[in-house]
Amino acid sequence: MKTYCYNTFLYGVVYYPEQWPEERWDSDLSRIAETGMNVVRMGEGAWSVWEPEEGNYQFGMFDRALALCQKHGLKAVMGTPTYTPPAWLTERYPEVLRASFGGTSLVHGSRRHYNYTSPVYRAKSEAVTDALARHYREHPAVIGWQIDNELNCHLDTSFAQSDHEAFRVWCRERYQTLDNLNNAWGTAFWSQTYTDWEQIWLPRPTVTYHNPNLLLDFYRFTSEITIRFGARQYQIIKEIAPHQFVTHNAFQSMTNVDLSAFVREAVDFVSYDSYPEFKVCDPGLSAEFRDRSESRLLSRMRGVSGKFMVLEQQSGPSGQIGGILNGNPDYLHPTPKPGQMRLWCWNSIANGADGLLYFRWRSLPYGSEAHWNGLLYHDERNTWRLEEAKRLGEEIKRLGATLMSTRCVSQAAILYDFDNESHARIERMTGKFRESNELAVYRVLSERHLSVDVRALSTSETGADLAGYKIVFFPHAHILTATDVKPLREYVENGGTLVFGCWSGYRNRLHWCYSGDDKAFYEDLAGVRVADFTAATPGETSTLRFEHSGTMVPAPIFNEILAATGDNVTTLASYQSDYYAGQPGVTVNQKGAGRVVHFGTFFTPENAASLLDALGIQDPLTAKAEVPPAIQATQRSNGKEEFCFFLNFTNKNQPVRFRETAFDLLEEQKLNGRIDIPPYGVRFVRW
């Protein structure tokens, strides 16, 4: 894992000098510094400023802006501008344009309208990256780079001619022969057999269902070309300016990219764009856990990168307009309530962020993001949001060294991998529930105050890498091999508790379903086989009864009827309805010093909580404090002392009763007995 290469907590804001009159810059940057900030991000949307004509690079505007940054003691993270190609480029070289699934070129006038495989676009992107890196490699204000911007946001696929050609090359390199490809893709079905490489295309419009094995390779290919595009910029910058860090701002979970591979190959560390309002406005999330669910995505960033930055933190109501002709919805999110913005910032920090920049300083009076509000509205008036940012700046100045010296300490992990996430996109009848399945597990662990790492299962994983966790969940392990389970087996045999979700171990890496003894590796580990399965009947409610408590819980979407294959298997819960009433639905297999659970249905908060009860997984804070489920507790350590963030995402006071005296570093006071954490309040305590 690469190391975070800046030793001061970075606190700042995104500022675009090209979007404001130059006479305003000095005042803006002065006020930014007065807010307690030490860094700005700029440049990633300004290719037409950097290179107004082909090969004619202009640095004057940003040189002057950076001089003012120096004047006010601000550092800068510069962005490579490759997510917004200038009009001269797309007009002169139309082959660089992204194409829709139907083959229509997506033209200039928005953003992300290029494709990753065009030789021309790669060359132009590399040239502007090279020019910027050379010009700013010794600039005292420039400490690092953000490559591109939110890769795969809006669209995560492209079907341009160069994409089809690159996919053909990728397939030849992967399979070597058409016989190998035909076997892997199962082309005997529907007479799909290919006899010439020129017959190989990315998925194109067809009468009905696509070959799912082709789709899986399509997603793998898309991930690889995205990584190559970013990795080339990374290589250029590190060759020219190895002392400056390189990162990228992933948005949400950065779809269609193997984020672990991206971090290994394309950045020093990952960054994240955190907009909890998207969760607040998601009707599919439980109201009481909406913005708190952002913690799961922050945990993902920590899981792939260790330490990370937030390069865009929500600073006001966000919204976009102008989608009427292409079907994109216009939207405007609610303004964060007083206290929420600070809460969300501290949540990012609590989950491992070593730097945080708001998006943006001031709302822009034009463009599709005119309602994507900054710390200031369109004028110069101070806002309560700016005052919250000042308060946070004072707190970070006081506590920055403590934050930088501590690391998150997690008692639980949730595993995933790129192939299984891609499979969930293909097999949508259950895959569409993958997010809610994982979130149910995360929520129950969080409400029990277990800090959670959400991490990819990599080929280099060992059981020792997992040894610190009390419990590990792998909710969507549909694609699984004997090689994949080696570190999991080691973790279990050394005393770990491993929980597989339903549909685990059904397919190999070719995306073929297992048959015969091919699945023996899984049955040996879990101690069960699936004797039968069924999708839940629409309109009917399937239930499970946990043996230890008699608790009845839902068993939604998909039910597996399990049969023991080992001697150390115990039924934890049985179905209570339909033709399989009384049959096992949740089992546990004692394996070495540990245990393996197979959970034969989709997770909900209710059934996941009952599972933790059955396994005896308790709140790790019980000895120190009595904390209600409504409070998120995120634990940290510097190796000598223990720390904990308590965050209240609700609009009500939440009581915490301290059994051991603690010291609140934010309020600078001792805590013992009962305290009330106010709505949207934060406590950062040391024991």
Provide the annotated active-site residues. 150, 312
Angle at 357 between CA 353 and CA 361, to 5 degrees: 165
CB contact at 8 A, 592 and 567: no
Cβ-count burial of 329 within 10 angstroms (0-12 exposed, 13-18 middle, 19+ buried)?
Answer: exposed
Give the C-alpha separation, 349 to 355, whole Å: 8
Give the C-alpha separation, 363 to 484, whole Å: 48
What sign does the CA torsion over 510, 513, 517, 521 have?
positive
- Within 10 Å of residue 188's Cβ, how many Cβ atoms? 10
CB contact at 8 A, 572 and 599: no
In the 8-state DSSP scheme, what is residue 411?
A: S
Side-chain-facing half-sphere of 583: CA atoms under 13 Å: 21
Residues 6+ apart with CB under 8 A from 224: 170
The backbone torsions φ and ψ at residue 524, rounded to the nearest 5 degrees and listed phi first, read: -65, -40
Beta strands at 319-320 and 10-14: parallel, antiparallel or unpaired: unpaired
Q: State whether residue 207 is helix, strand or coil.
A: coil
CB contact at 8 A, 139 and 66: yes
CB contact at 8 A, 309 and 355: yes
What is the helix (H) or strand (E) element at residue 561, kind and residue range? Answer: strand 558-564
Give the C-alpha separation, 251 to 253, whole Å: 6
The backbone torsions φ and ψ at residue 401, rounded to the nearest 5 degrees and listed phi first, read: -65, -40
- Within 10 Å of residue 179's Cβ, how many Cβ atoms? 11
Closest by CA to 245, choosing from 237, 253, 254, is 237
What is the helix (H) or strand (E) element at residue 642, kind and residue range? Answer: strand 642-648
Closest by CA to 292, choosing from 535, 676, 663, 646, is 646
Strand partners, 598: 500, 587
Strand partners, 648: 631
Side-chain-facing half-sphere of 361: CA atoms under 13 Å: 26
- Kindly tell me the number of DSSP H helices and DSSP E strands found in the chain: 20, 29
CB contact at 8 A, 74 and 144: no
> What are the tokens at 578?
């339909």
Closest by CA to 562, choosing from 521, 531, 602, 523, is 531
> What are the tokens at 209?
């269902």
User: CA–CA distance from 248 to each of 21, 361, 392, 489 (Å)?
Assistant: 28, 20, 24, 34
CB contact at 8 A, 100 and 89: no
Q: Where are the beta strands (DSSP E) in 420-495?
A: 452-456, 471-474
> What are the tokens at 308?
């990370």
User: CA–CA distance from 635 to each of 450, 451, 539, 646, 685 (Å)?
Assistant: 9, 7, 42, 9, 10
